[in-house]
């Protein structure tokens, strides 16, 4: 299989009656999914969309979202998935910038589409995904009116399959162009790393518009079942695992934190679960130990990656998670693992030389999973992909066996009195406090030190901690210049759609009105 839509086509041939996609009351076999993909591909082309043109989707998870992805791949149309947490202005920017000509909107976003419509000059077609809507085509009607004849698209594995805008940590959102081959290669990396087989099935709780949609591709590659969840609710998630006998779930570390304190956790039969993977942000070591303790028989896997790598770069695999005997074993549990089978990693200094074990450098990666580039931004593309390597902007050290220790985002590093402080290191220590649920360490303006280290902490319900306690804990484990000068307690922290804490937003309010340090 080379093109994403080979997946439903192949399995519809080999295993037509196997139930491969479950969402709420919808249960699709490979034959049904494949036919709906053909209908949608035929329907979009009949509407006048041409291969290479851009169609956006603004929707919660559903089977239709996956049909859309597969149909785009089949017809050679470029999918532009939209983050539903963005503001109207941001969405308009992306729709304009991407030159999108058709917009599919889920039930929750019909109003958004309506509001945006007068401002969108290039969008010619509006399709309502989940039922009839005024002045919009109805998705199911489009399907039923279209031929189920096998659609023959251009089949170019190196053509852009998805144009995925990533958060503008350095300004405006950037459109990451990923080809069919990028996505298929990254999925293979995860598949091999986690040993996914036909006996597995995944529960997808992260949004499909995000590159975190890879678990669906991984289980579908092997011909097996993906169950989609629309909104994140732990009770619903656990009940779904129990009912659908899912073997795998991918999550972000914050979900693990909530999972472990979920009061009804033990009421569910989770015996089908074989593997939990986590990604998106570093897993605090203390949290990982608790997760291992709670689920001693699970294969745990940590993925490190980014949209530009579709996303697979490194993996801390189940074997790494099993080894906890030596200090080295335990230290490695706090690493991002090692380069996965499909990707090569080099951590380099500013001259582009591979750093020695222990030295901090930037993570760079190459492989067939690395993006084609940024849409309409050849300068940034050339810079980020210089020398044939993706420059991730993540700083790390590597040990003698290739384990990668992320010290932090290049942009998140705090410079306090000329010393480099990596927020993650400080957060790791704060997590040792039993009352801490979440925290973010940022640099705030300081007249003496340039930047001062500040911790923003969310406490577990019914538990307490003081600023002094937190600072004392840090003093005990860290060099003096690294400990927070101040601690603020908050009710919640800003997060991305997949639950990644947004340090940038935490930081912003302290820099308001100043010569803002954009990370």
Q: Name the site residues for a copy of itself (rule: CB under 8 A).
A: 1-2, 6, 10, 13-15, 157, 188, 191-192, 195, 197-198, 221-222, 319, 338-339, 341-342, 344, 367-368, 401-402
> Is residue 404 left, alpha or beta, with left meaning phi > 0 and alpha meaning psi from -120 to 50?
beta
Pairing of strands 160-166, 174-179: antiparallel
Tell me which residue of 446, 506, 433 sits closest to 473, measured CA to CA: 433
CA dihedral angle for residue 54, residue 59, residue 63, residue 69, rounded to 10 degrees: 20
**Which one, 63 or 338, has the nearer CB to a copy of itself?**
338
Give the shortest CB-400-to-a copy of itself separation in angstroms. 9
Give the shortest CB-196-to-a copy of itself separation in angstroms. 10
Give the shortest CB-339-to-a copy of itself separation in angstroms. 7
**Which one, 241 or 315, has the nearer CB to a copy of itself?**
315
Is 61 within 8 Å of 204 (Cβ atoms)?
yes
Give the shortest CB-14-to-a copy of itself separation in angstroms. 5
**Which one, 2 or 349, has the nearer CB to a copy of itself?**
2
Tell me which residue of 317, 321, 310, 280 sits closest to 193, measured CA to CA: 317
**Which one, 341 or 360, has the nearer CB to a copy of itself?**
341
**Which one, 1 or 478, has the nearer CB to a copy of itself?**
1
**Which one, 37 or 58, has the nearer CB to a copy of itself?**
37
Paired tokens of 100? 């999108």
**Which one, 6 or 425, has the nearer CB to a copy of itself?**
6
Give the shortest CB-347-to-a copy of itself separation in angstroms. 12
Give the shortest CB-240-to-a copy of itself separation in angstroms. 27
Is 85 within 8 Å of 64 (Cβ atoms)?
no
**Which one, 12 or 452, has the nearer CB to a copy of itself?**
12
Enumerate residues 6+ apart whose C-beta is below 8 A from 187.
Answer: 214, 217, 218, 221, 312
> Is residue 393 left, alpha or beta, with left meaning phi > 0 and alpha meaning psi from -120 to 50?
left
Give the shortest CB-214-to-a copy of itself separation in angstroms. 17
Q: d(Cα 80, Cα 56) in Å, to the nearest integer? A: 4
Give the shortest CB-50-to-a copy of itself separation in angstroms. 22
Residue carrying structure tokens 């015996």: 271
Alpha-carbon separation of residue 319 from 201, 298, 322, 340, 380 (angstroms): 21, 11, 5, 14, 38
Paired tokens of 36? 């709906």
Pairing of strands 54-58, 100-105: parallel
Q: d(Cα 102, Cα 125) in Å, to the nearest integer? A: 4
**Which one, 12 or 413, has the nearer CB to a copy of itself?**
12
**Which one, 107 or 341, has the nearer CB to a copy of itself?**
341
Enumerate residues 6+ apart whose C-beta is below 8 A from 494.
Answer: 501, 502, 505, 506
N- to C-terminal Cα separation, the chain: 39
| DSSP conformation class of 110 | H
Enumerate residues 6+ apart whose C-beta is below 8 A from 252.
Answer: 206, 278, 279, 280, 281, 498, 499, 500
Give the shortest CB-216-to-a copy of itself separation in angstroms. 16
Paired tokens of 391? 């420059």
Give the shortest CB-396-to-a copy of itself separation in angstroms. 15
Q: d(Cα 32, Cα 36) in Å, to the nearest integer? A: 6
Give the shortest CB-312-to-a copy of itself separation in angstroms. 13
Give the shortest CB-370-to-a copy of itself separation in angstroms. 11
**Which one, 320 or 408, has the nearer CB to a copy of itself?**
320
**Which one, 221 or 278, has the nearer CB to a copy of itself?**
221
* 325 CB neighbour count, 10 Å cutoff: 8
Alpha-carbon separation of residue 335 from 235, 274, 330, 368, 402 (angstroms): 30, 22, 9, 24, 10
């Amino acid at each position: 299989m080379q093109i994403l839509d080979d997946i439903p086509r192949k399995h519809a041939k080999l295993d037509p009656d196997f139930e491969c996609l479950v969402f709420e009351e919808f249960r699709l076999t490979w034959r049904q999914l494949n036919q709906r993909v053909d209908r949608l591909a035929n329907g979009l082309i009949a509407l006048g969309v041409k291969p290479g043109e851009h169609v956006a989707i603004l929707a919660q998870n559903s089977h239709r979202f996956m049909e859309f992805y597969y149909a785009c791949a089949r017809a050679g149309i470029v999918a532009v998935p939209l983050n539903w947490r963005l503001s109207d202005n941001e969405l308009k920017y992306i729709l304009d910038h991407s030159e999108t000509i058709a917009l599919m909107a889920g039930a929750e976003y019909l109003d958004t589409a309506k509001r945006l419509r007068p401002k969108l000059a290039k969008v010619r077609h509006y399709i309502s995904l989940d039922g009839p809507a005024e002045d919009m085509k109805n998705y199911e009607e489009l399907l039923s009116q279209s031929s189920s004849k096998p659609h023959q698209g251009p089949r170019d594995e190196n053509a852009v399959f998805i144009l995925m805008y990533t958060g503008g940590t350095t300004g405006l959102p950037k459109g990451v162009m990923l080809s069919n081959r990028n996505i298929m290669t990254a999925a293979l990396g995860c598949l091999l790393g986690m040993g996914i087989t036909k006996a597995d099935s995944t529960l997808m709780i992260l949004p499909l518009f995000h590159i975190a949609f890879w678990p669906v591709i991984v289980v579908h590659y092997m011909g097996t079942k993906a169950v989609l969840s629309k909104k994140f609710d732990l009770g619903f998630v656990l009940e779904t695992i129990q009912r659908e006998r899912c073997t795998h779930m991918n999550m972000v570390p914050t979900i693990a934190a909530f999972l472990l304190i979920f009061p009804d956790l033990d009421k569910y039969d989770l015996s089908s679960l074989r593997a939990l993977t986590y990604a998106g942000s570093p897993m605090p070591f203390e949290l990982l130990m608790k997760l291992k303790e709670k689920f001693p028989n699970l294969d745990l896997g940590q993925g490190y990656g980014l949209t530009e790598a579709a996303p697979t770069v490194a993996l801390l695999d189940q074997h790494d998670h099993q080894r906890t005997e030596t200090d080295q074993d335990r230290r490695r549990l706090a690493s991002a693992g090692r380069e996965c089978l499909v990707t090569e990693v080099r951590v380099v200094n500013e001259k582009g030389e591979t750093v020695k074990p222990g030295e901090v450098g930037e993570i760079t990666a190459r492989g067939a999973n690395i993006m084609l580039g940024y849409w309409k931004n050849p300068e940034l593309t050339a810079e980020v992909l210089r020398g044939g390597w993706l420059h991730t902007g993540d700083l790390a050290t590597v040990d003698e066996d290739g384990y990668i220790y992320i010290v932090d985002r290049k942009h998140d590093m705090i410079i306090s009195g000329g010393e480099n402080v990596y927020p993650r290191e400080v957060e790791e220590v704060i997590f040792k406090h039993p009352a801490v649920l979440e925290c973010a360490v940022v640099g705030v303006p300081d007249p003496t030190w340039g930047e001062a280290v500040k911790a923003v902490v969310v406490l577990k319900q019914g538990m307490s901690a003081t600023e002094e306690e937190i600072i004392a804990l840090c003093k005990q484990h860290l060099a003096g210049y690294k400990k927070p000068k101040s601690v603020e307690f908050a009710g919640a922290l800003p997060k991305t759609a997949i639950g990644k804490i947004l340090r940038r937003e935490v930081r912003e309010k302290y820099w308001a009105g100043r010569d803002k340090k954009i990370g």
